[in-house]
Structure 1
Amino acid sequence: MEIAKNHVNGEGKGYCPCKSCANSKRSLQNLATIYAHIHDRGFLQSYTTWVYHGEKYSNASEIERMWASNADNPPLTNNEMFDALDGVIGEQNTYEENVNEHGDGLDTEFDALFKELNTELYPSCNWMSSLNFLAKLMHIKVINKWTDSSFDQLLEFLRVAFPKENKIPASHYEAKKKLRKIGLGYQFIHACINDCALFWKENSLMQNCPVCNESRWVDKNTKGKKVAQKVLRYFPLTSRLRRRFSSRFTAKDMIWHNTGRSTDGMMRHPVDGNAWQEFDNRYPNFAKEPRNVRLGLAVDGFNPFGNMSQTYSMWPVVLKTYNTPPWLYMKESSFMLTLLIPGPKSPGKDIDVFLRPLVDELKTLWTDGVQMRDAHTETIFTMRAALLWTINDYPARSSLSGWSGQGYKACSTCNEDTPLCSITNKIAFVGHRRFLTKNHKLRENLLFNCQKETRDPPKQLSNAKILKQLQGLPIRVPGKHPSHGGVKRKRAVSELNWSKKSIFFELDYWSSLLLKHNLDVMHVGKNVCESLLGTSLMNEKSKDTPKARQDLEKMGIRKNLWLTKNNNKFYQPHAPYSFTPIDRERFCKFIRGVRLPDGFGSNFKNKVLPNNSNKIGLKSHDYHILMQRLLPTGVQGCLPSNVSTTIIDLCTVFQKICARSLDVKNMEKAHKDVIKILCNLELIYPPAFFDIMVHLVIHLPEEAILGGPVYMRWMYPFERYMKKLKAYVRNKARPEGSIAEGYVADEALTFCSMYLEGMQTKFNRPDRNADADIPKRHLHVFSSQCRSISKKKIISLSEDVRKSLEWFVLSNCDEIKDYKS
């Protein structure tokens, strides 16, 4: 490099002697890039006389040999895949673990890819390589969702139509096999059929489970290749993070959290939350390198066969980087599938067994880090990574955290002091007056439970106290073998809900995090709205049951709602929180008549029964729209004012929490408001209404202050992503294998599509409702971009309407202001 400094042009660029550039005039680079290329790809072994860097040649044959190594196969023009492979090779070995014994940093697979890169699609086709053609064709297939059979037919036709000796693959399988070399692959890890252990590392050679002694194989006596009973698919995290830094398109976004954070006090990204800032203060060495990665982990189970009668639960583990800007958060291309936990049964509490490979890799990334090349700055640095939190629905949160979401202490935030009362065959989470200030008048109100409230609000335990609680837990043997368990016992009221110490506590920083497991606002909002609507419409989701009325009688409150007996039959008086038949029809008619913008939500006309008596088939996002947009309007005039006002206030709180930008003061006010709202709800609804989901609403504003905007911490994008994973299943006998292969192929195509030019990709696809270009108008008032959504229709304007339109044009057109008197 010292010699190269003296042989650069006026722009500071010179010939790069790496194995890829090979001193090509096309690949003049600056010194930092030359250093990185040699470090990544290895030095061109045939370059022994440095004629491009000042050394004089001895004879003509030496020069001829140098030109032969460089110019015999000149690079094809219009070859975008050169830059794509440049990024792939940059990943491969800067690093000792991937260098082969000759130290050249390139294996035979990438040699073959470079050969394809410089191979003409057919003889004399010097404008497109076979690899470039293949990447574009495969991308068109994915964008337009062609079937494999239709793609096979197209390839067969193209092979015949193009000149002979073309390099078009014979089938989709062959095409996918070539492009898979650009992908990052995955590992097979055998698991015990009872979820006791992985046959990995120290257990890799064992034939039976070290815990329950079950055989590793389906048929252990077979003479051929043995088949494992259960296989975990692991997609290494380090290589996927390395790819993000090795591409110039994604590397620049990995420091956005350091350069683009808010300066006006508003929270628009998790970096603005208290949890992130506390982490940076506690670990300043990690925080001072902006390229260190912050991760969020999402886990959820789904049935890969849809709503078929076959029960099957597969659990993908997805990671998301929080270094990037907010507008990239919802993109599927920013998700990294790291584990695919096989079915058919949910792992439950034994999910820690399957998380072992990922946690071990996270430990390495935290303590030692990994050397990476930053394509944005062309430098090599040591990258470290930390897991900030998890994002799950409440059952999955229980499996990951180790705190059961059922029973007397279902709220992990309130912990041992969860507010509740026992009712008929159920636990009601009531008593939110405790959260009010000491002198609040509602504390004296006897209408709640015939008692005054004198207790203090539950205290949130510090991290040290939580660790102290975990120290006394008995060691739990993992797995579902019959010999491990026994009869499911009922937990005593005095017992805590800890079932295990989560594997995440093995991470050095985990115990100090302020927000470890997010409450999923998607599911909380959906369940709360479902309870409100079900109870008002009196459908199958109603909480107003005969047992709920009996609870009121036992507690001695709201006598007007007690069951009445007449002729040996019990009657349920009408409650103020439920619609009358006329109001129910009016409310459903209102919902049925709603027309939403394209792509905003479902067609609610299909979600209400034709007789306007009830709702059917609502999804989580439908409840989200109802709660924040439609319910506040729909209940007005259909319910008493005290009931409708309380529901509207609750909907307003959800609107504030789910905003794209949050103000800490507004969130603190929302926390105070939601306490009063829950207290008012306790005066309206029976205790049976207050399940754990309703109680969790009280903690949502506090978590928003810690974690930042909710839309970057809820399950909506991950639920949509699981729908995409489900679409990968082509072979229903092997759903996990189908998803793994489909993900790796799509991962490779997504990476290639960033470099493709002159075609539509998922990164430059126009919006669904992109307006077409319209001719330039002379008057500004007519220059708005729009397009019609239906057939044009000529109408006659009344005199009043025409005059109003003329007045609007004359009043808002700047071009004629000089002519106004």
Structure 2
Amino acid sequence: MDDRSWMYRRLMDGRLRPEYITGVRRFINFAFSIDKNISGGKIRCPCVRCKNQKFLKEDDVCKHLLTKGFIPCYENWTVHGEPYVTEPILAGPSSIGMSHVMNDVCLENPYRNLVIDAMGVGDAFYNDNMSSPMVAGEIPNPEATKFFNLLKAAEEPLWDGCTKQSKLSACVQLLNMKSTFNLTQNAFNNFIDFTKSCMPNDENLVSNFYDAKKFMRPLGLGYEKFDVCPNYCMLYYGADAMKTNCDFCGSSRYKPRNPTSKGSNKAEKQLRYFPLTPRLQRLFMSPYHAKDMTWHHYHKSDNGVMVHPSDGEAWKEFNRVHFSFASDPRNIRLGLCTDGFCPFDMSSNTYSCWPVIVTVYNLPPWKCMTRPFMFLTMLIPGPKNPGKKLDVFLRPLIDELKNLWSVGVETYDV
């Protein structure tokens, strides 16, 4: 596979690089050379705005790519008919090895591609004839094994001889229907029971809603909920998890309800927390991203030009102070940022919602500040600005970061 680092080196001194213009033309010629890409004289546009969702004419695709650039992480043009490869394509020819190409059946399986896109793991790291991944050097740890089993489920037929659905595709579509049509858990379970009664005895369909959630858990898409004092005084977390009133203002943790009504108490306010560790581990499970996790250590800046935080004096001083940490380039450097925004129309409803985002500075500059690598870790509820009490909400994240710093987590590195 040729070097495609040009795709994310669009400008130089505010002008388009000649190699980028040539590359765009080469991409368009390739895309239009495959008949199945063309619909009404148009192809999918892979720019950062269209994201391969819109079909545009040749001139419009060219204009978008020249003015906006390619969607992140699209060096392998799979949507435009190119076979999937597991080796990185970003670096120059010296780092390009033999490509492992997926067969046509895999390319036509969108649910297998869904897992691969979410986790970044290629076909070379899985043997279709065995239940465990075949990786030279080391057996994956239990967390990695769970993911590879999910990848296998993308090709496991729903029953022996079924060609239209796999175990994974059926589970994903059922969960999507539950969300789309707002089905209750009982309705979902009854629907599963009826569906299983219409299928052969060797079916592989999940048994109920609980099993469906457990089956999809290896993708790491879940989150945790923590109750919060309505005045932002404290988080009902850790040692305070069982308390019912705020230690500072005395406010009740729960909304008032009729004593005769059934059901559990509802919290006045809740924080949604998205664990960071599993997402960092997935970066090392990917042969495509794992190599870039050491980019900050091996890259060399030209003529003293600062192109990455690792070129700065603060980074170098940190390396001198924490020499043991800096000695392994795989150790992760993170940046944290937050800002409030109103998700509604400001003229009709004032509401301040605060996302907290963590970025991975190990990655090269054309990756580390792009959407796939900006990890949303928590969503601080409104309607008021948390102000100086922002640290109350950050407690779960700080505890997780402290554990990663002082203890660490065993991670499978491909």
TM-score range, shorter chain: 0.5 to 0.7
Shift of 1:346: 0.9
Partners in 1 of 2:286 and 2:312 — Cα distance? Answer: 29
**CA offsets per residue over residues 524-579 of structure 1, 9 Å max, x none?**
xxxxxxxxxxxxxxxxxxxxxxxxxxxxxxxxxxxxxxxxxxxxxxxxxxxxxxxx
**How many angstroms apart in 2 are the aligned matches of 1:188 and 1:26?**
33
Structure number with greater Rg is 1
Per-residue CA deviation, residues 293-313 of structure 1 (Å, 9 max, x unaligned), is: 111111011112244511111
- Structure 1 residues 114 and 296 mapped into 2: Cα distance closer, same or farther (>3 Å)? closer
Give distance in 2, aligned partners of 1:87 and 1:25: 9
Cα separation, partners in 2 of 1:310 and 1:283, compared to 1, 3 Å:
same
Distance, in Å, in 2 between the alignment partners of 1:291 and 1:26 is 25
Partner of 2:289: 250
User: Retained in 2: the 8 A contact 1:87–1:243?
Assistant: no
- 1:22 and 1:115 map into 2 onto residues whose CA distance is 7
Secondary structure class of the residue paired with 2:376: strand
Kept after mapping to 1: 8 A contact 2:283/2:290: yes
User: What's the TM-score once normalised by structure 2's chain length?
Assistant: 0.55
Given that 1:236 and 1:338 are in contact with CA atoms closer than 8 Å, whether structure 2 keeps it comes out as yes
1:217 aligned partner: 254
Distance in structure 1 (CA, Å) of the matches to 2:311 and 2:269: 43
RMSD between superposed Cα atoms in Å = 4.1
Per-residue deviation at 1:374?
Answer: 0.9
Query: Counterpart in 2 of 1:233?
Result: 272
Structure 2 match to 1:201? 238
Query: How much does 1:118 deviate?
Result: 5.7
Question: Displacement, 1:114?
Answer: 7.6
Comparing 120-129 with 336-345, greater Cα deviation is found at 120-129
Residue in structure 2 matched with residue 333 of structure 1 by the alignment: 372
State how far apart, in whole Å, the 2-side matches of 1:26 and 1:234 are.
32
Please say if residues 131 and 152 of structure 2, whose CA atoms lie closer than 8 Å, have aligned partners that are also in contact.
no
> How far 1:336 moved relative to its partner?
0.9
Could you say which structure has the higher helix fraction?
1
1:362 and 2:387 matched = no
Figure out how many residues of one structure are paired with residues of the other and give that number: 268
- Secondary structure at 2:333's aligned position in 1? strand
Could you list the per-position Cα deviations for residues 347-397 of structure 1 after superposition, in whole angstroms to 9, with x for gaps in the alignment?
A: 01111111111112222222222221212xxxxxxxxxxxxxxxxxxxxxx
The one-letter amino acid of 1:275's match is: A
Q: 1:128 to 1:257 in 2, by over 3 A?
A: farther
CA separation in 1, counterparts of 2:253 and 2:167? 44
- Aligned-residue sequence identity (percent) comes to 43
Partners of 2:306 and 2:323 lie apart in 1 by 21
- Letter matched to residue 326 of structure 1: P
CA contact (8 A) 2:362 2:368 kept: no
1:299 aligns with 2:338: yes
- Is 2:332–2:360's contact at 8 Å kept on the other side of the alignment? yes
CA contact (8 A) 2:133 2:145 kept: no
Aligned twin of 2:389: 350
Cα shift readout 1:319-354 (whole Å, capped 9, x = no counterpart): 000100111134211111111111111101111111
Question: How far off its partner does 1:130 sit?
Answer: 3.4
1:130 maps to what in 2? 167
Q: Residues 809-820 of structure 1 correspond to what in structure 2 (within 5 A)?
A: none
Q: Cα 1:270–1:246, aligned 2, differ >3 Å: closer, same or farther?
A: same
Which of residues 351, 361, 370 is equivalent to 1:322?
Answer: 361
Contact 2:292 2:364 in 1 (8 A): yes
AA aligned opposite 2:393: F
Instruction: Map Cα deviations across residues 580-606 of structure 1 (whole Å, 9 max, x no partner).
Output: xxxxxxxxxxxxxxxxxxxxxxxxxxx
Distance 1:336 1:199 in 2: 24
In structure 2, the partner of 1:274 is 313
CA contact (8 A) 1:88 1:243 kept: no
Residues in 1 aligned to 2:132 and 2:214: alpha-carbon distance in whole angstroms: 30
Partner SS, residue 358 of structure 1:
helix
Q: String of CA shifts for 1:496-528, please: whole Å, max 9, x gaps.
A: xxxxxxxxxxxxxxxxxxxxxxxxxxxxxxxxx
Where does 1:34-53 land on structure 2 (aligned, <5 Å)? 36-37=139-140, 40-41=141-142
**1:184, CA displacement in angstroms?**
3.9
Deviation for aligned residue 1:87: 6.2
What is the rounded CA distance, in whole Å, between the counterparts of 1:204 and 1:192 in structure 2?
12
1:285 to 303, 306, 324: 324
Tell me how far apart the structure 2 counterparts of residues 318 and 194 of structure 1 sit (CA, whole Å).
Answer: 23
Shift of 1:247: 2.6
Letter in 2 for 1:183: G
1:374 maps onto 2:413 in alignment: yes
Aligned twin of 1:120: 157
CA distance in 2, matches of 1:331, 1:87: 28
The 3 A distance-change label for structure 1 pair 190 and 204 is same
- 1 CA distance for matches of 2:133 and 2:229? 52
Structure 2 segments unaligned to the other structure (5+ residues): 1-125, 182-194
CA distance in 1 between partners of 2:289 and 2:171 (Å) = 23
Partner of residue 227 from structure 2, selected from 166, 172, 190: 190
- Offset at 1:233? 1.2
CA contact (8 A) 1:88 1:182 kept: no
Distance in 2, Cα, partners of 1:333 & 1:215: 39
The AA in structure 1 aligned to 2:403 is T
Structure 1 distance, partners of 2:340, 2:379, is 10
Deviation at 1:23, TM superposition (A): 9.1
SS at 2:328 equivalent: coil
1:745-786, Cα deviation, whole Å (9 max, x unpaired): xxxxxxxxxxxxxxxxxxxxxxxxxxxxxxxxxxxxxxxxxx
Distance 1:261 1:282 in 2: 22
Q: CA deviation at 1:131?
A: 1.8
Once the two structures are superposed, what CA deviation does each residue of 1:691-750 show, in whole Å capped at 9, x if it has no partner?
xxxxxxxxxxxxxxxxxxxxxxxxxxxxxxxxxxxxxxxxxxxxxxxxxxxxxxxxxxxx
- The residue type paired with residue 368 of structure 1 is V
Question: What do residues 585-643 of structure 1 show as CA deviations (whole Å, max 9, x unaligned)?
Answer: xxxxxxxxxxxxxxxxxxxxxxxxxxxxxxxxxxxxxxxxxxxxxxxxxxxxxxxxxxx
Contact 1:117 1:130 (8 Å CA) reproduced: yes
SS of 2:301 mapped into structure 1: coil
Alpha carbons of 1:126 and 1:86: their partners in 2 closer, same or farther (altered >3 Å)? farther
The amino acid that maps onto 1:213 is G
Extract unaligned runs of 5+ from structure 1: 1-19, 42-84, 91-109, 142-146, 150-159, 376-821
Distance 1:25 1:196 in 2: 50
> 1:289 deviation in Å?
0.8
Query: 3-state DSSP class of the match of 1:190?
Result: strand
Cα distance in 2 between the residues matched to 1:124 and 1:86: 29
Amino acid at match of 1:228: A
Cα deviation code 1:214-257 (max 9, x no counterpart) = 11110266453000111111112222212222232322221111
Aligned match of 1:494: none
Q: Which residue of 1 aligns with 2:89?
A: none
1:133-212 alignment, distance < 5 Å: 148=180, 179=216, 181-212=218-249
Inter-CA distance 134–250: structure 2 relative to 1 (3 Å threshold): farther
Distance 1:28 1:202 in 2: 43
Secondary structure of the 2:412 match is strand
> Quick one: structure 1 residues 370 and 167, their matched pair in 2 at CA, closer, same or farther if it must change by over 3 Å?
closer
What SS is found at the alignment partner of 1:293?
Answer: coil
Supply the distance in 1 between the matched residues of 2:382 and 2:288 (Cα, whole angstroms): 37
The residue type paired with residue 231 of structure 2 is N
Distance 1:331 1:237, change over 3 A: same
Q: 1:313 aligns with which of 343, 352, 359?
A: 352
